[in-house]
Amino acid sequence: MNWEHIILGNRLNMDALPHEWFTIGGTFGFILLPIAAVLLLGKIKGWKWLWGEWFTSVDPKRIGIMYMIVAGFMLLRGGLDALMLWLQQALGSSNMPGFLGVQHGYLSADHFQQIVTAHGNIMVFFVAMAFIFGLVNFIVPLQIGARDLAFPFLNTLGFWLYVAGVLMVNMFFAVGGQYAATGWLAIAPLQGKMFSPGVGVDYWIWSLQISGVGTTIAAINFIVTIIKMRAPGMSMWKLPLFTWGSLCSMCMAVAVFPLLTATLFLSFFDRYLGTHFFTIAGGGDPMLYTSMIWMWGHPEVYILVLPAFGVFGEVVSVFSRKPIASYVTAVLGMIGVSSLALSVWVHHFFTMGSGADVNAFFGLMSMVIAIPTAVLMYVWIATLYKGRIRFSVPMLWFLGFVWTFTIGGVSGVMLGIPPVDFQLHNSLFLVAHFHSNVVGGVLFGIFCGINYWFPKFAGFRLNERIGRNAFWFWIVGFSLSFIPMYILGLMGATRRLDHYDASTGWQPLYVVMLIGGLTIAIGVALQLAQILASVIERKRLADTTGDPWDGRTLEWSTASPVPEYNFTHIPTVSTRDAFWEMKKKALAKQKFEDIHAVKNTSAGVWISAFAFLAGFGFVWEITWLWVVSLAAIVISIVMKAFNEDSEYVIPAADVKKMEAERLAHKPKAPTAAEADSAEDMSVWELVKWLMAYAMEVVRTKRWRKL
């Protein structure tokens, strides 16, 4: 009897530990660094604060902020992957002398394909989805005048399952093995054990599976919240656009994420139990996998983009100082997109060889779904018309989005035509298309939303000046890195190539793409600088009114930062732009009331930790580990279900006291002249400030206090 085999399973051993430069680097960068950051935070602010007030929090605002912090960190990881890919391709011409003595760039084909896969998974699942969930968590309850979500515990569970997925996707750094080298959707039969025998695809399955279950749970939660928890008077036709976009998106998520779960389970059965759902032997059907994964995969991009459309709708209206030009049209446009989203998936595999009628039908649906999207553009034009437009940073992101998303939309409709797709499918033209939409639509929408709602998150607005700089680096970087991709696609360059012949003439464009990537990296660095500069100047940038942009929806009617209970009084809504109406009429003073709140719970953290361990057991085929972990999950859920002591009441007197205290500590509003004449800190001023601060720390030896 070999104990090592029983404890570690057949696959895990000492050889798996990190020993290559990228696994060692990844272990430091993506596992040890976050752990150190958490430890430092706990040391400075106290463990009780970190665990009791944040990690176990059921407050959607705190969960939203945690989503966005993890997503921001993963954006850096995914972005680093992108730069590594661009660098490889820029050096990847096979006639060039090898870089550092290595032929074909500096990465092996296998390693390159692992990065391709990780980049796609991370950006879609752990960046875009998480940012969207962060925004939805924070903003939707505020917009509908609710104090909490319908199922506060499910919210914390969903978040921690997402974190478990994030850990799983980075786990190969520390524990070894490799990541999947299969492309982001791990198309069958390449994902089967015959072609991918290592643990990479298992990591892929379980990181998506665990976080996907979290997504399903969260989506159900938001649908119920939006349907059931609206403030009195807020009918469905008075919902703010962002809430509408989120509702459409979450409905789609509930429809398709179970499909992803099922597909991943079947893949897992193929790999772990030796079944033959998607294999090429034993009567398996790989084409079934393609169909199932895209039936989820296509709606997924709409799940991401609809909340972004909602953000833009709000921003255009507020920064034009006009209501949205046709609310009904905008909402119908979003409902139209989401109801058609499940009928276009076959356009991802026209090249699999269906007949002309099948291809033409799905081509037609792909044309039809472009109409409601285009209509939104016209609604925005009419909203701008006769407005008084302020070019604040959120508005800049909207204007940038218009250009990138239109390019992506035009190329997308082209690819929806089967004969065009035959020539451009799986070429870089396709890659450029979806990056235009996912970067230019989703990510720009997220940046727009973060700049717009930051006063709500933190109590002060973001630095406008550095924000503008960041925007311009992003836009220029985007044009340099993705427009050449279209051209390369027309030249016949296929995706995921780690090297190519110099005679193709592709290299100059790949180099331009690398330059564009570096430009975007500067944009990201400036965004981090923007946040830092805003924190430094938080007193001057403080949002003392709770309504810095002259907003129209309910989230602006409460204080910034938002109190724990969101609203001291649940507002009564009579019109669409509810807060705009309230501002026009004076608000009547109301009496404070008792507020029911939900106690924080650590069950979400534990269940997710066990889910992670179970996934780890499945990846490495450690039987005892997944058996014990699954049992622990069941026990945790049962224990949580029997815990009746989950609520508490904030008495009216305490609410009054807290409100008074908040008013007393409210930062002094800068005078109008101050606010108008002073320009925000520039990057150079920030650098000077940081150097002075560092000198100060060195001089006073302040680190000793830590």
Partner 1 sequence: MPKKRPQHRPGSLARAMILGIIALLLLYAILIHGHNIAVLNPKGLVAREQMGITLFAAILLLAVAGPTVGVLYFMAWKYRETNPKATHDPELQANKLYLVAAWGIPAVFLAVLSVAMWITTHKYVPQQAIAAAAKPMTVEVVALRYKWLFIYPTQGIATINYVQIPADTPVTFDLTADDAPMSGFWIPNLGGMLYAMTGMVNRLNLIGQTLGSYEGRSSEITGPGLADMKFTAQVSSQKDFDNWVQDTQLDNGPLTDAGYQSLLKPSENNSAAFYSSYERGLYAKVLMKYMGADSMAGMNMDGMR
- Interface stretch with partner 1, choices 64-72, 219-227, 418-426, 555-563 (CB under 8 A): 418-426
Restricted to residues 371-390, the positions that interact with partner 1 (CB under 8 A) are 371, 374-375, 377-382, 384-390
Among positions 24, 83, 106, 193, the unique one binding partner 1 when judged by CB under 8 A: 193
With beta carbons less than 8 A apart as the criterion, state whether 307 and 132 touch. Answer: yes
Q: Which of 82, 115, 251, 512 binds partner 1 (CB under 8 A)?
A: 512
Residues belonging to the chain:
706
- In the bound complex, what is the minimum distance in angstroms from residue 380's beta carbon to partner 1? 7
Closest of 499, 155, 442, 161 to residue 305, by C-alpha: 442
Q: Which residue, 389, 377, 388, is CA-closest to 329?
A: 377
C-alpha 628/C-alpha 405 separation (Å) is 48
Looking at the Cβ atoms of 181 and 241, the one nearer to partner 1 is 181
Positions 564 through 583 that interact with partner 1 (CB under 8 A): none
- DSSP-assigned beta bridge partners for residue 93: 500
Please, how many CA atoms are within 13 Å of residue 705, restricted to the half-sphere of its CB?
A: 6
In whole angstroms, the minimum distance from the beta carbon of 423 to partner 1 comes to: 5
Stretch that binds partner 1, among 185-193, 242-250, 607-615, 635-643 (CB under 8 A): 185-193
Q: Is 669 in the site for partner 1 (CB under 8 A)?
A: no
Residue 494 forms beta bridges with which residues? 427
By CB under 8 A, residue 513 contacts partner 1: no
Closer residue to partner 1 in complex, CB, 143/178 = 178
Question: By CB under 8 A, how many residues form the interface with partner 1?
Answer: 113
Left if phi > 0, otherwise alpha if psi is -120 to 50, otherwise beta: which for 459? left
Distance CA 201, CA 186 (A): 8
Helix (H, G, I), strand (E, B) or coil at 427: strand
501 DSSP β-pair partners: none
* CB of 96 or CB of 254, closer to partner 1: 96
Site for partner 1 in 243-282 (CB under 8 A): 274, 276, 279-282
Q: Which residues, other chains included, contact 418 with Cβ-Cβ below 8 Å and sequence gap of 6+?
A: 350, 356, 359, 360, 363
Cβ-based nearer residue to partner 1, 196 or 566: 196
Candidates 29, 42, 258, 492: give the one binding partner 1 (CB under 8 A): 492
- Shortest Cβ distance from residue 94 to partner 1 (Å)? 8
Q: Which residues, other chains included, contact 130 with Cβ-Cβ below 8 Å and sequence gap of 6+?
A: 67, 68, 70, 71, 74, 162
Residues 304-323 that bind partner 1 (CB under 8 A): 320-323
Report the alpha-carbon distance of residue 181 to residue 204 in Å, rounded.
10
Interaction with partner 1 in 600-659: which residues (CB under 8 A)? Answer: none
- Per CB under 8 A, which region of 149-157, 291-299, 350-358, 686-694 contacts partner 1? 350-358
Complex with partner 1: residue 357 or 645, whichever CB lies closer: 357
- Residue 355, phi then psi, degrees to nearest 5: -75, 170
Q: Please say which residue, 66 or 407, places its beta carbon nearer to partner 1.
A: 407
d(CA 432, CA 90): 16
By beta-carbon proximity to partner 1, the closer residue of 181 and 239 is 181
Told to check if 353 binds partner 1 by CB under 8 A, we report yes
- 209 near partner 1, rule: CB under 8 A: no
Q: What single-letter amino acid sits at 696? A: E
Stretch that binds partner 1, among 171-179, 242-250, 498-506, 624-632 (CB under 8 A): 498-506
Q: Left if phi > 0, otherwise alpha if psi is -120 to 50, otherwise beta: which for 177?
A: left
